[in-house]
Chain A
Amino acid sequence: MDARLRRVNKEIADCKNDKTSNISLELIDNSPFHLKGSFPGPEDTPYQGGRFEVDIIIPDSYPFQPVKMKFITKVYHPNVSSASGAICLDILKDAWSPVLTLKSTLISLQSLLCSPEPNDPQDAEVAKHYTTSKGSFDETARYWTQIYAGGPGKKEAKGLRGVKDEVAIAGLEKAHVDQFEGLGFPRNKVIDVLRRLNYRGANVAQISEDRIVEELLKS
């Protein structure tokens, strides 16, 4: 049997047998080389209570070359692209070792959620948010967990099913958005500009309203 297939089968079986880690692996299509992994959000983080799904592609040269992983579930995290789910983690690149397994890699992703590395960001805007106003970041990350990863506070979300709060997704204050929307700019444009300028927390005092209006006119 092909060594790669044998190894992947064993890894999937191991994962099934291991009940303690609460990590699951399942096939996406019929190929054992395209999988979907999922793990619970770590406790005491904004991701707590959510379940995060990861798209896993096993390359031909596995395990000698790293697996390709990206988040299916949208995650608000400095090292994860908020748009594509791409992950910035050393073991998925040059620090990969053939003894690492799918399970151990997923556990590493889980711990990446615990300890973001904003100095080596995948998503610069999110990283800026994280470094300038941690409190506001946590809130946004929690909100994302709630609406995308099925985190706690579901009731509220259910009531507004389909009407996701764009302002909260962007990690902004409703009052701020309303203020500029009141000037006659379209709401989505306001959200876009404020997010780009990182108009959050202590940063609000740093950015003049003129600057925002200027940006709004430009875009």
Chain B
Amino acid sequence: MSSDYEFSDNEGEYYDSDEMMDDYQNDDDEEMETYEYNNNNNTNDNDYDYTNDDDFRIPTKSKSKSYQVEYTSLTQSLVEKAMKEEVDHVSGIFGVEPSTATLLLRHSGWNKERLIDKYMENPTQVLVESGCQVPEPIPSSSSSHSVDDKSGSGSRRATRSSSKLSLLSSSITSSNRSSSHKKISSTSDSSTTFTCPICYDDSPSLTALSLTCAHSACSGCWNAYAISKIRDEGEHCIRCMTEGCAIVAPDEFIHSVLRDDGKDLIRFQELVVRGFVASNPKLKFCPYPGCTNTVSCPSAAGKSVLSTLVPIVSCGARGITSSASNQNQNPSSFSTSSALSTTTTTTTSLHNKEHIFCFGCPIESDHRPVICAVARLWMKKCEDDSETANWIKSNTKECSQCQSTIEKNGGCNHMTCKKCRYEFCWVCMGPWSEHGTAWYSCNRYDEKGGVEARDAQSRSRASLERYLHYYNRWANHEQSTKLSLDLYAKTEKKMSDMQITSSLTWIEVQFMKKAVEALEKCRETLKWTYAMGYYLGRGNEKELFEDNQRDLERAVEDLAELLEGGGVEMEKEKENVGGLRQRITDKTVYVQKRNEIMLEDTAIGFQDGRWKWNVGVDGFEEPIEDFGGVV
């Protein structure tokens, strides 16, 4: 169990608690409103906590704001439960054992409908393909085949009535059982000596294990094989070791083979769950390292909806967990450890970061307000070296004869290409011969060849400047977000100082932390608005967007200044901590309101199809204009 994890979760709970709100309410009425707004989501959390037990970490968010999506966070055990339901359902319909049903479902990518269709058509084939049954090589078995087929086709006709189905399938079961039942045949060899075909060990104490295919190997080899598959390949579909044998080991077999090796067993279970989650478009595994939660977000399951909403979700957990062992934690263990919570203030914010990610794309942060497709375009643009090319284009010229790239670093305008010895004028790019003897003064600006070369050059220069405008602001906010870690540390120190120097209690100085958190969040939003601004097509809509952006930017900078510079002021205003607190709280609320407006407005814009891009984006109309801005 990692105590880190407990801390963080606890801390979250701590801040979320109503206690804090109450405190503010007692304090003064003006602030009550502001914090109520602040705690909107958190109150939901708490409501939830009271009504439910251990199932969900985060409640189904009521879709109160248009920039939020509805989602549910599931723990691994919940996903396992869902898996088990599917398995039991299929197992009931087919009348096969749950372990067989598991393999069937896994093989069909958890597509129950297709599996049922296929199974009704030809159960034997499906069983063989899924690695549950050995293909029958003897033609004499064809009689049993036909029985299967008959019952199969018969039951297909009767798909509506499940009771009939299970009756019919019982006949299938009986024929299957003969082969699939003795899955784990362990034979402690006593009379005939068994030699493991893998390790060549023949000691009499050896335990031979085999799947339905009866290809035996010693338990030690099975153990090493399973561990190697799980650790090295991350594979949960573990086949028989014999070459060409397609029989898949059922989970119970793997469990027994792994014995008490806790870590690998947990990893195996995780791989199984991951497989299930990956095959379901409504589910996504939390991408944070060590986290085993899953988020269910049915409203963002299709590709097409991603052009109208940004499905930012959170799995509810916080921090980076070092081991996977805490997945079995239940809320009771949280509450028991709450006594430790006082020490949590020292943990850095990074370790305490909520697991926020995008359900629709691999970006592991909140890229609202911009939609996935545009965010991806921007990321790619920033990663690409295309901007290096842009630099070359704006700072160099090409020899108009051999196309060598030339950077002029001094000298006169009479250029001679080093490579092809072509002589030209750097100013007009035309051949020098046209200039006659007019050294240093290019009076032939409009001369034919020169015009074209210059046009291309200025276009690329404008594009670079435009990009850099947006990129610099984007990068600045990213940098500031990173630096906010330091700000956190500083703020924490200030908070503890305040407790000493003023009469404020711990809970009363939390406004500093709140402010820093709001700042970080808004910077994240601002950062992405620049990516959006870069691709937004010109027009009134864009101007409105940029107005909102400007307001948010201003509010953020104001608050940042107050926080960063607050230390000095605080020294002066030792008597007046209350005033500082008031100002910061006001600003915090304002910043959050601006952020809200920004997100809300863009989200509604997406729903109304108001935004137009200057590049082609999937799910949108053609770019409205091409002003040479985007390369």
Contact = CB atoms under 8 A, between A and B. Distances in A.
Interface of A: 3-4, 6-7, 10, 61, 63-65, 91, 97-100
Interface stretch (B65-73, B217-225, B564-572, B586-594): B217-225
Contact of A65 (B198, B200, B201, B228): B228
A63 B197 CA distance: 11
A100 B243 contact: yes
B200 A6 contact: yes
A106 B416 CA distance: 63
Given A3-B220, A3-B221, A99 B197 contact: yes
B267 to A, nearest CB: 16
Contacts of A99: 197-198, 241-243
B201 A64 contact: no
Given A3-B224, A98-B241, 15 more contacts: A3-B199, A3-B220, A6-B200, A6-B201, A7-B198, A61-B232, A64-B221, A65-B228, A65-B232, A91-B243, A97-B243, A97-B245, A98-B225, A99-B243, A100-B243
Nearest to B225: A64
B200 A97 contact: no
Closest 5 CB pairs of A and B: A64-B228, A97-B243, A3-B199, A98-B241, A10-B200
Given A97-B241, A98-B241, A64 B199 contact: no
Contacts of B229: 64
A4 B196 CA distance: 13
A167 B201 CA distance: 53
A7 B199 contact: yes
Contacts of A100: 243
Contacts of A97: 241-245
Given A3-B220, A3-B221, A64-B224, A98 B232 contact: no
29 contacts: A3-B199, A3-B201, A3-B220, A3-B221, A3-B224, A6-B200, A6-B201, A7-B198, A7-B200, A10-B200, A61-B224, A61-B228, A63-B198, A64-B221, A64-B224, A64-B228, A64-B229, A65-B228, A65-B232, A91-B243, A97-B241, A97-B243, A97-B245, A98-B198, A98-B217, A98-B221, A99-B197, A99-B242, A99-B243
Contacts of A98: 198, 217, 221, 225, 241
A129 B104 CA distance: 45
Contacts of B228: 61, 64-65
A163 B138 CA distance: 61
| Interface of chain A, main secondary structure | loop
Interface in B442-480: none
B264 to A, nearest CB: 13
A63 B221 CA distance: 9
Nearest to B235: A94
Contacts of B241: 97-99
A99 B242 CA distance: 6
B618 to A, nearest CB: 33
A101 to B, nearest CB: 10
A102 to B, nearest CB: 13
Interface string B224-254: 1100110010000000011111000000000
A58 to B, nearest CB: 14
B231 to A, nearest CB: 9
A91 B232 CA distance: 17
Nearest to A95: B243
A64 B242 CA distance: 11
A168 to B, nearest CB: 37
A6 B196 CA distance: 12
Contacts of A10: 200
A99 B197 CA distance: 7
A98 B228 CA distance: 11
Contacts of A64: 221, 224-225, 228-229
A136 to B, nearest CB: 36
Nearest to B244: A97
A61 to B, nearest CB: 5
Interface string B384-412: 00000000000000000000000000000
A103 to B, nearest CB: 13
B225 to A, nearest CB: 5
B344 to A, nearest CB: 41
Contacts of B197: 99
A65 B224 CA distance: 10
Contact of A6 (B199, B242, B245): B199
B207 to A, nearest CB: 14
Contacts of B245: 97
Nearest to A62: B228
Nearest to A61: B228
Contacts of B221: 3, 64, 98
A3 B229 CA distance: 18
Contacts of A91: 243
A29 to B, nearest CB: 24
Contacts of A65: 228, 232
Of the candidates B199, B221, B229, B242, the one having the most CB atoms from chain A within 10 angstroms of its own CB is B199
B591 to A, nearest CB: 53
Contacts of B201: 3, 6
A44 B224 CA distance: 42
Interface in B181-201: 197-201
A65 B233 CA distance: 9
Nearest to B228: A64
Contacts of B224: 3, 61, 64
A61 B226 CA distance: 11
A60 B573 CA distance: 67
Interface centre among A7, A10, A91, A97 (most CB of B within 10 A): A97
B230 to A, nearest CB: 11
Nearest to B199: A3
A100 B198 CA distance: 9
Interface in B464-516: none
Nearest to A63: B198
A4 B228 CA distance: 13
A6 B220 CA distance: 14
B208 to A, nearest CB: 14
